[in-house]
Structure formats: C-alpha cells, structure tokens
C-alpha cells in the first residue's frame, strides 16, 4: 500500500537535501530548517519504501513561502519569527502552516511535537497523528518562563483535540496522562530512531585499563543539564586514578567557553578536555574511536538520542535513575549504571566501577543488542508505517 504522507514538523532541511537532493521551485534560498535531524532518516526510509512524503515546516531565515521538490518528496517552508511568537500563542506560525497544508491532499497527516505544528495540523485535519516528544510540565519546571507557560497551554489545547497519539517513551506517556493532557488510555510508544551502523564494532572491544576516557555530550550548561556535579565527581575519581580523562562535548563546552572557565575557576578542569560542538558524523566517529564510557548527568529527558546512539556503539552509560526517560532508554540499566545524578559520590563510584574493562565490555554488548532491537530505523519505521496504514484505511472507510 503506497501512501501520501504529510509531515508537519521542524526538520533539518539541509540534512534532507544531502540524501534526497532538492530543487528550489519557489522562493530565493534553500533554508536550513529548525532541526530535528533524527527525522531525516525516517523520511528517507519512508521514501525508500515507496511512499510519497510532503513536509510542512518553518524556518527563521525565509521571509516568504518557499517550496522544494525532490524524488517523492516535497517541502513547504514559511517564516518562523525570531521573537514575540508567544505573544499571540504562535498564531502567525500556525496560520502559515495551515495555509501550506491546505495546498496538498495527503492520505495521512503526522505532526511532531504538541505545540504550533500539531495545532496547525489538527486544524486542517482532526484525524492527524500526533507524536509527543516532551513533557510540558517538566519543561516548565526546569525552564520557568512566560514563554514555556504559553507552550504548556498550547500542549493542553493540542492534545485535547488529538485522536491518535504516539510518544517517544513510557515516561512521556505517564506524564501526559497524569496531568490530564490526554485522557485516552491508548498511547503507543515509538522511540526516536537511530542508525545502527553494521560497519562499526562495539566500542568497548578496546581495553583501556585505567586509561579510560569518559565523555559527556550535552547542549546547554544550566541546572537541567547538571554539568557541575559531573565535573566534581570526575575530580573525585582523579584523586584515586590519575590517568582517567573526561571529554565535554556540545554547546557551552568549547575550549575557553563558559564551562571551561567555570572549571578553571573552581579547580575542576584537571584531566578534562572541552571539545565543544561536533557535527553528527564527527560525533559518532569520535565516540566510536575515543570514548569508553558516556556519562549523562541531565536531570530530565523525554528520550535521549545520545544515550541511544552510544548504546548502538557498544558504549556503556552512566545515567540518572530519576531523570525522566533515561532508565527507559537504557533498558532499565541493561546499558549501564543508573545513579542519583545529583550525587557526586554516586557518579564517581559508578565511573570507578566502569574502569573494569570486562564489565564495560559486558554492558556495552548488552546495550548494543538492546539498541538494535528497540531503536533501529527499521523498527521505528515499521511502527509508523503500520499506524499510517491503519489511519489511511479508517479515513477511506
């Protein structure tokens, strides 16, 4: 069954363009898009299976409707305001999305995130499949602002209109039901996909002894990401094991950046390399070649792609036992050690345990197996494709 699928979501247009060359048929430039790079492989897989994909998205750089066309793919793009979006509850963005959606007749409409993209899609078609990627009250808790409160209200509005919902983790499902965002008991969990690269052997096959390299990959340096506790835990570990190293990767962790300066001022920089941001391809290669253990100190995750990616590489994880969907993503500890992520002692003790190469290899192999079974692109695409077929059949009936 071949289906014409409409996807309403932020996307990484440049990433799509790399694997599905796009021709600009309306507008002046090919925009970057708003991210959500992980959707690129899903879009490509759906096209490989013979489906046609129409994408409706937004971008901060474009000022007018822009249309791109490729083989079995078409992308509509319009303007996403830099500021003051929340003042009118994203009404401007919602109206632009609705206008684009109504230009195409699709068999199934699928909106990602429970905010402006879902509201626009549901306004065009109440039968829209919605995927929730976060827990709105938790987002507001860790990033309190009027903007986040507006987003919370938008999520309530969107989800009360939603007839068919998927979420990226059990934790997200529980949150949405607990706070009455979504009253239907039927919520399907479909995690975000990762590419399982057959050419990459599990990383933990290398034996570093006590010369173990730990790494953390995060964007942002606030209390939610919790880097200070990790840096203190690592310094405690180094008091006993002088050869261990910690690499900090991501936005805010550049050489001489904000966290590097903090670390120097607080004597937490010994043995620590501040690497900064890496593009996806570089990041995967770097993790595979250099890193023995991933430490993820974040206090909250709806689904952590970096944890899933590290698992696919056979890298054991240290994550928070109370950090939202982190235990779910790690297979309830199959892929590593779950700790109180607020505790310097517990993080340090877990790092010390994983100096044991036999334990690292054992956990890494189990994590790799779990990721292959649960997070592979084929598994995720199969789940979405089955839902699309069900919705299409109901819509036709």
pLDDT in tens, 13-41: 999 999 999 999 999 999 999 999 999 99
Residue 32 and residue 99 in one domain: yes
Range of the domain at 86: 4-193+377-396
Residue 351 and residue 381 in one domain: no
Residue 265 and residue 390 in one domain: no
Residue 235 and residue 365 in one domain: yes
Residue 94 lies in a domain: yes
Residue 176 and residue 215 in one domain: no
Strands, E, within the chain: which ranges? Answer: 4-8, 23-26, 52-59, 66-70, 73-79, 108-112, 129-132, 164-167, 188-189, 213-217, 245-249, 272-276, 293-296, 317-320, 336-339
Of the candidates 63, 81, 65, 56, the one whose C-alpha atom is nearest the C-alpha of residue 25 is 65
Residue 301 lies in a domain: yes
Residue 179 lies in a domain: yes
Residue 238 and residue 331 in one domain: yes
Residue 359 lies in a domain: yes
Of the candidates 102, 237, 97, 94, the one whose C-alpha atom is nearest the C-alpha of residue 157 is 94
Residue 173 lies in a domain: yes
Residue 11 and residue 156 in one domain: yes
Q: DSSP 3-state assignment of 315? A: coil
Residue 152 and residue 225 in one domain: no
Of the candidates 292, 315, 289, the one whose C-alpha atom is nearest the C-alpha of residue 304 is 315
Residue 19 and residue 102 in one domain: yes
Question: What is the number of residues in the chain?
Answer: 397
Say which CATH number the domain at 106 has.
3.40.50.2000
- C-alpha count within 13 angstroms, C-beta hemisphere, residue 136: 25
Q: For residue 200, what pLDDT is reported?
A: 55
Residue 175 and residue 235 in one domain: no
Residue 314 lies in a domain: yes
Q: What does the pLDDT look like over 277-333, one tens digit per residue?
A: 998 889 999 999 999 999 999 999 999 999 999 999 999 999 999 999 999 999 999
- Give the whole-angstrom CA distance, residue 87 versus residue 79: 16
Residue 99 and residue 157 in one domain: yes
Residue 198 lies in a domain: no
Which residues touch 105 (CB under 8 Å, ≥6 apart)? 4
Per-residue pLDDT of the chain (397 residues; tens, 9 = 90+): 899 999 999 999 999 999 999 999 999 999 999 999 999 999 999 999 999 999 999 999 999 999 999 999 999 999 999 999 999 999 999 999 999 999 999 999 999 999 999 999 999 999 999 999 999 999 999 999 999 999 999 999 999 999 999 999 999 999 999 999 987 768 999 999 998 766 555 555 555 556 899 999 999 998 899 999 999 999 999 999 999 999 999 999 999 999 999 999 999 999 999 999 998 889 999 999 999 999 999 999 999 999 999 999 999 999 999 999 999 999 999 999 999 999 999 999 999 999 999 999 999 999 999 999 999 999 999 999 999 999 999 888 6
- Domains in the chain, number: 2
DSSP-derived letter for residue 194 is B
**Partners of residue 57 on adjacent β-strands:** 77
Residue 382 and residue 251 in one domain: no
Residue 313 lies in a domain: yes
């Amino acid at each position: 069954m071949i289906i014409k699928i409409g996807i309403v979501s932020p996307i990484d247009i440049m990433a799509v363009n790399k694997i599905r060359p796009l021709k600009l048929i309306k507008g002046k430039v090919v925009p970057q898009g708003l991210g959500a790079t992980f959707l690129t492989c899903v879009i490509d897989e759906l096209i490989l299976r013979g489906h046609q994909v129409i994408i409706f998205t937004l971008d901060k750089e474009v000022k007018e409707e822009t249309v791109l066309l490729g083989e079995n793919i078409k992308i509509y793009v319009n303007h996403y305001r830099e500021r003051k979006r929340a003042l009118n509850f994203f009404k401007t963005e919602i109206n632009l999305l609705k206008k684009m959606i109504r230009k195409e007749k699709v068999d199934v409409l699928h909106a990602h995130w429970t905010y402006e993209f879902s509201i626009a899609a549901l306004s065009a078609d109440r039968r829209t499949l919605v995927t929730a990627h976060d827990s709105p009250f938790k987002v507001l808790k860790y990033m309190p602002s009027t903007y986040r409160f507006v987003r919370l209200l938008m999520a309530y509005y969107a989800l009360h209109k939603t007839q068919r919902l998927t979420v990226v983790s059990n934790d997200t499902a529980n949150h949405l039901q607990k706070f009455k965002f979504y009253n239907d008991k039927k919520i399907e969990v479909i995690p975000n996909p990762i590419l399982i690269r057959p050419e990459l052997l599990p990383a933990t096959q290398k034996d570093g002894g006590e010369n173990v390299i730990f790494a953390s990959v995060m964007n942002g340096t606030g209390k939610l990401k919790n880097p200070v506790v990790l840096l203190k835990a690592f310094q405690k570990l180094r008091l006993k094991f002088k050869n261990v190293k910690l690499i900090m990767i991501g936005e805010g962790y550049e050489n001489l950046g904000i966290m590097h300066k903090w670390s120097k001022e607080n004597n937490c920089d010994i043995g620590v390399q501040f690497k900064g941001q890496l593009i996806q391809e570089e990041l995967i290669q770097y993790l595979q070649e250099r890193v023995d253990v991933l430490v993820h100190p974040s206090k909250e995750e709806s689904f952590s792609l970096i944890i899933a990616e590290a698992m696919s590489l056979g890298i054991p994880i240290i994550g928070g036992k109370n950090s939202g969907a982190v235990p779910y993503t790690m297979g309830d500890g199959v892929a590593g050690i779950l700790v109180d992520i607020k505790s310097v002692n517990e993080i340090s003790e877990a790092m010390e345990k994983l100096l044991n190469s036999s334990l690292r290899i054992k956990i890494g192999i189990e994590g790799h197996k779990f990721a292959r079974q649960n997070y592979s692109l084929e598994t995720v695409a199969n789940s979405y494709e089955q839902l699309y077929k069900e919705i299409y059949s109901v819509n036709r009936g």
